[in-house]
Amino acid sequence: MRFQVLTIFPDLLDSPLQEGIIRRARQAGKIDVAVTNIRDFAVDKHAMTDDRPFGGGEGMVMKPEPLAAAIRHARQVDGHVVLLSPQGRRYSQAVAQELAQRKSLILVCGRYEGVDERIRQNYIDEEISIGDYILTGGELGAMVIIDSVTRLLPGVLGCADSVEHDTFSRGGLKYPQYTRPADFEGHLVPEVLLSGDHEKIARWRFVAGVRMTLDKRPDLLGKMSFSKKELQLLEKEGMYPGAAAKEKN
């Protein structure tokens, strides 16, 4: 998969792209990441990429000429153009899975008060927001997309089952995790996890994940679905997801 990031601060992406799973995915040829400096497409000798808004007001607006030229350059390799924007659709695991089906993404990082509206209307395929808060630019949002999409690609993670059992993979939170030592300052790992009984462990993890969702993110319950057997198990544990939970066919 190919990612192209258009930004006026390309150095912001250097370190994240050189670490961990992203680095290994690049080295293995699972992904290709190209970072393009929008300033390289500026039309004046000062390489200006922003100007004052028509009609007055605070801040600066990213100019259309450099952005349009940078996007046209990126589109020489076909790609889905995404503008990181607070008015875009909310990013989620489902959106990450959707984007992971594409072969190429062009991620446009806005700055200042935003981009010229003519760019938004004529050069952008969709806008995405990673949350209801304001950042100084779209670079961190672009990195969030690269990271979350990359780990969904076949062969990227060392354990393929990790994706299937991740938090949000079935709508709710993941079960609690434990590792050695079994006794840490008098706090013990649940005995079932030491039993070696994989069926019991699977049941415990399922119930623990639903309980954590109910306790910490009950708003997610409506996104979860359960089989009749799972609903019976939850009722046996004294947990009643209620009408918000959907039953699997």
Express each pLDDT in 172-231 by its tens digit.
999 999 999 999 999 999 999 999 999 999 999 999 999 999 999 999 988 888 999 999
Distances (CA, A) of 21 to 57, 113, 215, 230: 43, 33, 31, 34
Q: Which contacts of 114-118 are long-range, i.e. CB under 8 A and separated by 24 or more positions?
A: 114/61, 114/62, 114/85, 115/61, 115/62, 115/64, 115/67, 115/83, 116/61, 116/62, 116/63, 116/64, 116/67, 118/64
Q: What are phi and psi of 60, to 5 degrees?
A: -125, 160
Q: Please tell me the predicted confidence (pLDDT) of residue 160.
A: 59
CATH tag for 168-247 (out of 1.10.645.10, 3.40.50.1100, 1.10.1270.20, 1.20.1260.10) = 1.10.1270.20
pTM, entire model: 0.87
Residue 240 has pLDDT above 80, yes or no: no
CB atoms closer than 10 angstroms to residue 158: 8
Give every CB contact of residue 136 below 8 A, 6+ residues apart in sequence.
Answer: 111
Which of 10, 39, 65, 113 is an active site residue? 113
CB 157 within 8 A of CB 168: no
Residue 127 designated active-site: no
CB 127 within 8 A of CB 85: yes
Beta strand pairing call for 50-51 and 2-7: unpaired
Residue 9 is given by DSSP the state -
Residue 14 has pLDDT above 90, yes or no: yes
Token digits for 215?
A: 């306790």
User: Phi/psi zone of residue 56: left (φ > 0), alpha (ψ -120 to 50 degrees), beta?
Assistant: left
Superfamily of domain covering 2-150: SPOUT methyltransferase, trefoil knot domain (3.40.1280.10)
Token digits for 180?
A: 């050695």
Which of 120, 151, 170, 211 is an active site residue? 151
| Domain edges within the chain | 2-150, 168-247
Residue 249 has pLDDT above 70, yes or no: no
Query: Tokens 């949002």 — which residue?
Result: 141
Q: Please tell me the predicted confidence (pLDDT) of residue 124.
A: 98
Residue 166 designated active-site: yes
Which of 40, 127, 147, 166 is an active site residue? 166
Which of 53, 64, 86, 176 is an active site residue? 86
Closest by Cα among 76, 132, 63, 128 to 104: 76
Residue 161 designated active-site: no
